[in-house]
Each structure stands twice: as C-alpha cells, then as structure tokens.
Amino acid sequence: MEFRLVLQQIINGLSLGAIYSLIAVGFAMIFNILKFSNFAHGGVLGFSAYAGFLAATKLGLPLFPVILVGMLTGAVTAIIIEFIAFRWIRKRNGQLVYFFVTSITMLMLLQQILIIYFGKAFDYYPITLIKTKVVHLGELTIATNYILTLIATVLAFSLLTWVLKKTKVGIAIRAASNDLVATGLMGINADFIVLATFAVSGMLGGLSGVLYGLSASLTPQIGQIVVKGFIASVLGGLGSLTGVAIAAFALGLIEVFLIATIGSGLSPVVIFFIMVVFLLVRPQGVAGQSFVDKA
Amino acid sequence: MKKFYKIMIAAFVLMFLIAACTPATADEPVVEETEVVAPETGEEASEEEVVEEPEYILIGNLQDETGGMAVLSTPLTYAATMKIEEINAAGGINGRLLKLVTYDTRSDVTEAINAYTRMVEQDQVPVVLGPPISNIGIAVAPVAEELQVPIVGLFMVESAFKQESGEPWTYMFLGQNSDVTQGSIMGQYSYDQLNVRRSALLYNNQNSYSAGIGMAYKAQLEANGAEVIIEETYAWGDQDFRAQLTKIIAEDPDSIFFPGYPAEIPLILAQAYELGYEGLMLSDNSVPPTGLSPNTDPEANKNCYYPYGINPEDPELQAWVAEYEEKFGVAPLAQSFSGADAFGLIVTALEACGDDISSECITAELNNIKGYEGFQGTFDMAADHQPSSLPMAMMKIVDGAQVFDMWYLTSGAVE
Amino acid sequence: MAYYLTVSTSIAIVLISVMGTHLLTGMNGMFSLGQAAFMGLGAYTASILVVTFGVPFPIAVVASILVTLVVAYFVGFATLRIRQDFFALALFGFGQAMIGLFTELVQLTGGAHGFTNIPRITTPTLAFVSLAVVIFIVWSIRRSHFGRDSLAIRGNDMAAKSSGIDIFKHRMVIFMISSAFAAYAGVLLAFYNRYIDSNSFGWMISVTWIIIVFFGGRDSLIGTLLGGVILLVLPEVLRFASEWRITLYCITILFIINVMPKGLFGSIKLPKFVKQLFTKKQQEAE
C-alpha cells in the first residue's frame, strides 16, 4: 500500500515532468541559439492552446488536426514575435537585459490580448477529444494525456536531434548556437537560421500548448507555465537539450515529492534552496558547457 | 526632436488635468460582443461636461475588469446591467434613470482604493456595487468608513464587513452568505445527510474564499464529532492536483471537500476520478457551470454535492437565465444571482429613499431591509450586515446535470 | 482632494521601488523578478512588528530595512557570482519562496486573508519626502565613482575587472540598496493602504517596475521618474479604455525598446534637458 502510493506519486511526477520537458525543449531552443530566456514562449503557448480550442469547438476537429492547428499557430506566432520583438535588438547586438525585458513584455501583451477576447468565460477543451481518459497498470493510473505528451516529447526530441545532426539547416543551427556571427561570416544567412529556430520553437510551443491545454483549464494566464521551461532550461545547462529534458523531469518529480511530504505551501521555499545550491555546485547545469556572460 | 518632447509632456500633463477634472461619463451597459464603449469624452478633444444631471442616479461599480478575477466580477456587471435596463425601461426609480459608473480594480488593492475614492469624490456616487473578491473588500472597508459611501458586494470573508471588534463596518454590506455560513451549512449537511465522518480537505491556501469556506466546514464537522483526517493545499494557477489527491486517497477518506474556483473544480473532479476515488466529492457554490457536464465527464462528477445560492429548477429563474445567456453569450455563475441580489438591495434602498438620494439615507435604508425577495430567497439585512438566516440550496449532480436536493441551514434542513 | 492625494501618494510609493529597480536593472543590467518580494518582506515585517508586537513605527521601519538587508545579503551571496540567467532564475525562485512563506505562516501574516488593521501612518508628506531622499541617494550614486563603475561593468565586465573593479562587491551593494528601497516602499504601502496580502508582491509586479525603468530611460534618473509618472498616471487617465490599456503599454514598450532603446527620455540629464527646452540646439542622434 505504501509502495503503491510511492509508485503512483512517481508516475505523477513523471507525468508532470513530461509536460514540463515539452515546454522546456521549445524554450531551450531559443535559449541555446540566441542565449536568452524567451518568456514570450509562454505567449506562443497560450495562443496555440486557444487556437486549438477554437479548432476543436468551432470546427469540431478531432485530436490530431487540433494538434496540427496548435503547432501551426505556434510557429506563426513565434515568427511574428521574432520580427516585432527581437530582430532589431539582435541586429544591434543589444545587451541581455533588453531581451529579458522585451520577451516578458511580449508575454504580458499576448496574455492581455487573450484576456480581452477570452477573459470573460471559462473555457475547456471538449472532453470528447481523447476517448480513454486513463490507462491503468494494475492499481496505478496514468492519464492518457500525459502518455501522449511523453510520446510527443520523445518524438519531438528524436526528430529535433536528427534534424540538428543530419540536415543542413540543423547543422547551421548548431553552428549558430556556437557563434552566430561566425556562422554569418561563413555565408549562412543568420536571419534565416534565427527564423527557422523560432519556427521550430514555436511548433514545439504550439504542441505543448495544445497538450497542456487538454489537461488544464484554459485561462488567459495559461502561458505562465513557461516559467517551468525557464527553470528547466537554466538548470539543464546551455548547449544540451538532453540536460534540459532531464532537468524538467527532475523538476516534476521534485515538485510532487515536496507536495507529498511538506505540502504545497512551503514547496517553493525548498525549491528555491535546491535551485541555489544546485547553481552554486554545478554552474554548468545538468549537462551543459561552461559559458561566460556575453561581454 | 526636443520640440517633440516638449509637446508630448505638455500633452500628457494636459491629458491628466482634463481627465481628472472631468467627471467620468458612465460606461454604456457592457455587452459581451463589443469592447468597452468609450464615451464621447476624448483625451485632448473638447469634452462634453457630463455633470450629474438631476435625472440620473449614479451607482458606482467596483469590479475587476482586466485582472485575473475578471471572469468572476463580470457576472455582477452583467446582472446589474440587466436590472438597470429593466428599471429604466419602466421609468427609473422615482422618475430618475440609473447609470452604472464602472471602474477597474485590476485585482489590485491599491487600485481598488483609488478607484473607490475616485468614484466617490469625482463622480459623487451615493452608493457602490462592490466586488466578489474578498481581499478587495477587506482593503476598501476602512476607506469606506472614512468616505462614508456604502458598498454592497459579495466579499464573503467576514473581515470585509465586520471589524475586529465584532461591530460591522458601517458602510459595508454583504449580499450573500458569508464564507463561514456557507462552509458551516455544507459541513452540517454533509454530516446529517451524507454521513460524512472522515473527510479530507483540499483548498487553495492563497485564496481567502477557498480557505475561509474550508476552515468553516472543518469547524462544523468537528463540532459534530466528525473529523477532517487530512488537509492538503494548492496554489493559484495549479492545474495538476494528483500529488495531493494521491496522498489524500491513500488515507481512505469518505469524502473530499474541495472549495475552490470554477477553473479548478472540473480538474479536481476528473483527476480524483482518474486516480480511482469513488467516494463523495464535495465543493462550494463555484461548481456550476464548469463542474457540470459537458465540461466534466459525467463519470467523474457523479458523486458530487455542493451548496448553491438558488434553486436552478425554479421556473421563474429559468426565464432570467435564458435572457442572461442570450444577452451576454455565457452561462450565469453563482455571482450572477447573488450579484443580482446585491444590486437589488441597492435598488430597494434607493426606492425607499425617494428624493433624498444621499449616502446617509441609503445606508440607513440598507440597514432596514426586511423581507427582501431575491433570487437567493427572502431575507432581512441582519445587524452584522449580512443576510439573516439565508438557507442554501443543496445540490447534487446526476447524469452530469444539477439536481436540487433540499434547502439547508446550519441548524438543519428547512421545510 | 483625497482622490488626488491618494493617487499621488500611491505613485510616490511605487516610484521608490522603481528607483531601486533603476539602480539594479537599469544601470547595472541585473534582471530580477524578485524585487517585489522584498517589498512584501518590508511590508509584512513592519506590519507584524507594529500591530502584533506593539513596536513603535520608526523602530519597525529600521528593523524591516535591516531584515531586508540581511536577507538580500544572503540571497546575493548565493546568486551574484553566477551568470545573468542564473541570477534571474534564482531571484524568481526567491520571489515565489517569499510568497509561499507569506501565505503559509498564517498565524503571523494572516495568510490568504491578508494582514488587516494596520494603522494609517504614512502621510503624503512622508511618502513624498521619502521619495525625494531616495532620489537624492540615487543621484549621488550616479554621480559618484560607484555609479560610473556600474556602466563600466555593464558594458564589459571583463574589462572592468581588469581595471580593478570588484564586480561582486559592487553588485552586492547595488542589490542590497535596491532591495532596501523596495522594502521601505513596502512599509509605506502597508501603512497607507492599511492592508496587505501576498497577491501584491508577485513577479508580475517586479516586471512592471522593470518596464517603467526601460520606458522612461534606463540611464536617465529623470527619465525613469517621468516615465514612471506617465505610466502610473495613465491608468487613471485611460479609465475608459481599461481593457486596452495594458495592451497599449506593452506595445509602447516594445516600440521604445526597439526604436529608442535608451528610453523615452534617453540619457538626458536634467540641466541639459531644461536648457534644451529653451534653446534651439540640435539633438544628437542616439
């Protein structure tokens, strides 16, 4: 009985981690390439979640088309964000803090737009979108949605790794993540690389938006879950998507563990201490390279 | 370039002066499809002086329009709007038409205080329809004591309408049952009718509404000799409660009481069900409409009971609900009905005051309200500024829809 | 009259915190989402001391600031040696932790119901005089060696280090001062509104302050102040367009950061600014 409790909590933690890792990988793409925390990713997530919602309710589409709609919305939103918010700062080689400020302003802006259009009512994805709600393994329960997210994360991850290692665009992106300027000097169109990165990040954001939206209640503030991606990316370390994924799962597990032991009220306090200790002890993150701030 | 700055600064200063000196025109009644209709008074354009014409009674409306709680505040504005249109169509109150002056509190305490001060001083409203958000109510109470304009709202936490000494805040009036009342009634009902003896409690410890109802429920159970065997909390914005629920279910309670807001209720219902829990799921008056189907799987909410302000099976209410839905495009929430009552209390006081539309008279009349017939039932305004012995309708969910069980008070069932 | 006073006093109090952010994020480029938590720390500490323990107000103020300095020291010690991103993350986590504490310690803080019955001690005079003092402190820092170090570090921290600046010490001092400002503003706020709850100290509030600094001019003291006044007064002015107000803010910020990265008022210093209003000098390109 005790053992079953622990096992179920582990599953809960991993399920949460699956959601976080999908969000984190999208976030980390920008984090790795452009070296800044793109909070606007939360706005992408929110927009995609609502786009999927509209597709499911107004157009009555089934699950996979809804996901595709979400991914498309995510990519488009991310590209627009790149143009409006980041392009000029990047061109001017602006300091890190400008990226922080713009990205978080963008998050607020997108959230506010959602509040204007959707703030007056409660919205949910139709429960008919996923037929079986849960999968039972003996006495343990896993929500189907989380299994879906896990599969999506693994797929996205593998696909991403393949693209980054084997395709021209991917190799260019990896080069850009090492040194954007040098890559430009080599004749590769840096602007295009950046756009491609945002597009991919946006698609991941859209995917995570829909999958997260399925298991949550749709509020305009849904994008704020992006902070989990932020936490996982920084803890995961620069230059390694694997590290980010691991950090995200660890975060999910730790959160569940803390709730199960000291309760939800004091969890943020413990998490803060864990964060600080971790950053001091292992500044390169879970699997990242050492990196010095842009001079 | 410097001229640009000069002009801009002058413009901003001018803007502020103009806006500050112009009594605000009231918002048009809010309709869901359109944006807030801006009155003709522009910032730099020459403004029409909207002075308080003798034909209008201005009623302040202190709500959250753009913050996180907008979805709970809007029902009050909607209900008030409907009522105003009805009254104005019939010629107003004593020949005067009603107008709502709505200011946004943005869920922020400082904003709310500023907004209330502005509507009292600049727009000179004699009475205010207050928010459903308790923390705003608590913050505004001492200000109301100073500015002496009464507020009738849905801030159900006791410190919003009662001072520490036990005396009521002179100008704060609650238009529905307080959190203590609601929690106690639910506790008593659960004990008497559902045989709850070993309950679990899951609440948002950052939300005074959730915490207040939860604590009152627990106290009532304990007064009857039952117990709350485990308490778990969650925070604003949480969507996943499995960690807490797994822990709760492992303790084998006969019921889980989860007071919260409409956003999380369907999630808790679904997740508890998915984790294999088959006992009672008890909640507060935020269950409709999200906790009902089709938002929630009918398998998940089949053991759900909750208190509600009104009996939705009442045929008179159905007509009002239909009109509300048609006008605003959303289903009414609990706050729509209690909001209508809160506004109705204001209207009753205004009617009783005749030509003397002053805060003193309105406050006196609010204190004197007896036998008010509202959506929630018939009640007096008790000495402690909340409705006196207002029973709640105990509801259960059958096949995804709400079904009325009985009226209940802390003393037991009501015939 | 009370209305103008109330609004101006609230604005003055927020500007004190904004001054802290001006030092921290504007001049030193340190992105902290946890500054509002220090405001909460100051607010709760002072309120608890005065209301629950009967400590006289002036002592409570000093105590709150001291507590905040100590906490800031520890937090800074743990987080200032590491990268920018880490600092941002850690301060975010710190903010969440403080909010968790504020709500969990129900006996002390009132929890979800907030802390009530705080006497009104902050007068508009106190608020404005405090703001003036804070402005003076920031102005002195900017003129001093210390202030110029900030720009050096911000521009190129390796170069700054090699010219002998102790970056860690510098950042620690700035961080502590900035947090103390926020805490003091929190005290003023608590004793003006007479009520506080944990909802007022979240990371979104810290974001608002950062936005104000970058709107007005991260390098310009007068710019930050003017920008703050504009952004804080605008809600009152734009009450009829309530829904679109925040949208307008954000669009304006984005526009400014991209087109006028030095903020609306650039790096204008006051005397020059005033002079320019009266002479026909050409403004230099940014």
Domains of chain C: 2-201 (1.10.3470.10)
Q: What's the CATH number where B260 sits?
A: 3.40.50.2300
Q: In the predicted model, what is the mean pLDDT of chain C? A: 85
Total domains in chain B come to 2
Tokens of A202: 């946006």
| A-to-C residue pairs, Cβ atoms closer than 8 angstroms | 129
Q: In the predicted model, what is the mean pLDDT of chain A? A: 85
| B269-296 average pLDDT score | 89
Interchain CB distance below 8 Å, B242 and A124: no
> Does residue B294 have a cis peptide bond before it, meaning omega lies within 30 degrees of 0?
yes
Position with higher pLDDT, A141 vs C225: C225
| A9-19 average pLDDT score | 91
CA quadruple B208, B211, B216, B221: dihedral, nearest 10: 170
How wide is the angle at C-alpha A227 spanned by C-alphas A224 and A228, nearest 5°?
115
Q: Which residues sit opposite B96 in a β-bridge?
A: B93
| DSSP letter assigned to residue B287 | -
Q: Does the residue A288 lie in any domain?
A: no
Residue type, B147: L
Could you tell me if B102 and B31 are in contact, meaning their C-beta atoms sit under 8 angstroms apart?
Answer: no
Position with higher pLDDT, A46 vs C246: A46
B203 and B232 both lie in a single domain: yes
| A105-130 average pLDDT score | 84
Q: Does the residue B378 lie in any domain?
A: yes
**Which residue has tokens 């989380």?**
A146
Q: Does the residue A263 lie in any domain?
A: no
Total domains in chain A come to 1
What's the per-residue H, E or C state across chain C?
CHHHHHHHHHHHHHHHHHHHHHHHHHHCCCCCCCHHHHHHHHHHHHHHHHHHCCCCHHHHHHHHHHHHHHHHHHHHHHHCCCCHHHHHHHHHHHHHHHHHHHHHCHHHHCHHHCECCCCCCCCHHHHHHHHHHHHHHHHHHHHCHHHHHHHHHHHCHHHHHHCCCCHHHHHHHHHHHHHHHHHHHHHHHHHHHCCECHHHHCHHHHHHHHHHHHHHCCCCHHHHHHHHHHHHHHHHHCHHHHHHHHHHHHHHHHHHHHHCCCCCCCCCCHHHHHHHHHCCCCCCCC
Query: For chain B, what is the radius of gyration of the CA atoms?
Result: 23
pLDDT given for residue A162 in this prediction: 85
Give the β-pairing of B372-374 and B198-204: unpaired
Q: Does the residue A237 lie in any domain?
A: no
As a whole number of angstroms, the distance between CA B261 and CA B256 comes to 16
Residue type, A118: F
Among C250, B67, C227, C31, which Cα is nearest to A108's? Answer: C250
As a whole number of angstroms, the distance between CA B328 and CA B319 comes to 14
Diameter of chain B measured on Cα atoms: 78
Query: Three-state DSSP class for A229?
Result: helix
Residue B386 has pLDDT above 80, yes or no: yes
Could you tell me if C74 and C97 are in contact, meaning their C-beta atoms sit under 8 angstroms apart?
Answer: no
Domain that holds residue A49: 3-225
Interchain CB distance below 8 Å, A124 and B35: no
Residue C215: pLDDT band by 50, 70, 90 thresholds?
Answer: confident
Testing the interface with B: which of A8, A214, A219, A270 to mutate, by most B Cβ within 10 A?
A8
Q: How many residues are there in chain A?
A: 295
Q: Which residues sit opposite A136 in a β-bridge?
A: A141
pLDDT given for residue C267 in this prediction: 57
Describe chain A by its helix, strand, coil percentages, rounded to 5: 75, 5, 20
Q: Does the residue A278 lie in any domain?
A: no
| C99-125 average pLDDT score | 90
B29 and B79 both lie in a single domain: yes
B149 and B235 both lie in a single domain: no
C277 chain-B contacts, CB cut-off 8 A: 2, 6
As a whole number of angstroms, the distance between CA C93 and CA A197 comes to 28
| A-chain residue closest to B329, CA distance | A121
Could you tell me if A17 and A252 are in contact, meaning their C-beta atoms sit under 8 angstroms apart?
Answer: yes
- Is the Cβ of B81 closer than 8 Å to some Cβ of chain A? no
pLDDT given for residue B55 in this prediction: 77
Tokens of A245: 């994924």
How far CA B55 is from CA of A233, A252, B353, C5, in Å, comes to 62, 61, 15, 31
As a whole number of angstroms, the distance between CA C160 and CA B65 comes to 48
Position with higher pLDDT, A138 vs C33: C33
Q: Does the residue B193 lie in any domain?
A: yes
pLDDT given for residue A129 in this prediction: 75
> Does residue B289 have a cis peptide bond before it, meaning omega lies within 30 degrees of 0?
yes
Residue A136 has pLDDT above 50, yes or no: yes
How wide is the angle at C-alpha A170 spanned by C-alphas A164 and A174, nearest 5°?
80
Residue B54: pLDDT band by 50, 70, 90 thresholds?
Answer: low
- Is the Cβ of C93 closer than 8 Å to some Cβ of chain A? yes
pLDDT in tens, B63-114: 988 877 888 999 999 999 999 999 999 888 888 899 999 998 888 899 899 9
Q: In the predicted model, what is the mean pLDDT of chain B? A: 85
Residue type, A98: Y
Residue C86 has pLDDT above 90, yes or no: no
- Is the Cβ of B224 closer than 8 Å to some Cβ of chain A? no
For residue B354, report the phi and psi dihedrals to the nearest 5 degrees.
60, -120
Diameter of chain A measured on Cα atoms: 63
Q: Does the residue B14 lie in any domain?
A: no
**How close does chain B come to C183, measured CA to CA in Å?**
17
Q: Does the residue B243 lie in any domain?
A: yes
Interchain CB distance below 8 Å, B110 and C236: no
Tokens of A198: 């945002």
B289 and B405 both lie in a single domain: yes
pLDDT in tens, B68-82: 788 899 999 999 999
A289 chain-C contacts, CB cut-off 8 A: none
A293 chain-C contacts, CB cut-off 8 A: 83-84, 157
| A84-95 average pLDDT score | 81
As a whole number of angstroms, the distance between CA C79 and CA A278 comes to 11
B108 and B144 both lie in a single domain: yes
Position with higher pLDDT, C159 vs B331: B331
Among B176, B183, B82, which Cα is nearest to B137's? Answer: B176
pLDDT in tens, B121-170: 999 999 999 999 999 999 999 999 999 999 999 999 998 999 888 899 99
| C75-103 average pLDDT score | 87
B289 and B353 both lie in a single domain: no
Q: Does the residue A257 lie in any domain?
A: no
Interchain CB distance below 8 Å, A120 and B32: yes
ipTM: 0.89
As a whole number of angstroms, the distance between CA C94 and CA C75 comes to 8
What's the per-residue H, E or C state across A245-289?
HHHHHHHHHHHHHHHHHCCCCCHHHHHHHHHHHHHHHCCCCCCCC
As a whole number of angstroms, the distance between CA B270 and CA B296 comes to 7
**How close does chain C come to B213, measured CA to CA in Å?**
12
Residue type, C27: M
Position with higher pLDDT, B295 vs A266: A266
Interchain CB distance below 8 Å, A89 and C258: yes
Q: Does the residue A252 lie in any domain?
A: no
Residue type, A133: K
Helices C57-79 and C35-47 meet at what angle, rounded to 10? Answer: 150
Tokens of B323: 């009109």
Tokens of C255: 């526009």
Give the start-end residues of each E strand in A118-261: 134-137, 140-143
Among B331, B5, A132, which Cα is nearest to C230's? Answer: B5
Interchain CB distance below 8 Å, C114 and B142: no
pLDDT given for residue A79 in this prediction: 94
Domain that holds residue B154: 21-43+52-177+311-384
| C238-257 average pLDDT score | 74
Q: Does the residue A285 lie in any domain?
A: no
pLDDT given for residue A286 in this prediction: 75
Residue A80: pLDDT band by 50, 70, 90 thresholds?
Answer: very high
As a whole number of angstroms, the distance between CA C105 and CA A220 comes to 30
Query: Three-state DSSP class for B233?
Result: strand
The partner residue sitting opposite B237, judged by closest CB among A1, A8, A221, is A221
Q: How many CB atoms lie within 10 A of CB A90?
A: 18
B397 and B249 both lie in a single domain: yes
| A171-178 average pLDDT score | 78
A134 chain-B contacts, CB cut-off 8 A: 274
pLDDT given for residue A167 in this prediction: 85
Residue A97 has pLDDT above 90, yes or no: no
pLDDT in tens, A25-65: 999 888 887 788 899 999 999 999 999 999 998 888 888 89
B74 chain-A contacts, CB cut-off 8 A: 120
Chains that touch C (3 or more CB pairs under 8 A): A, B
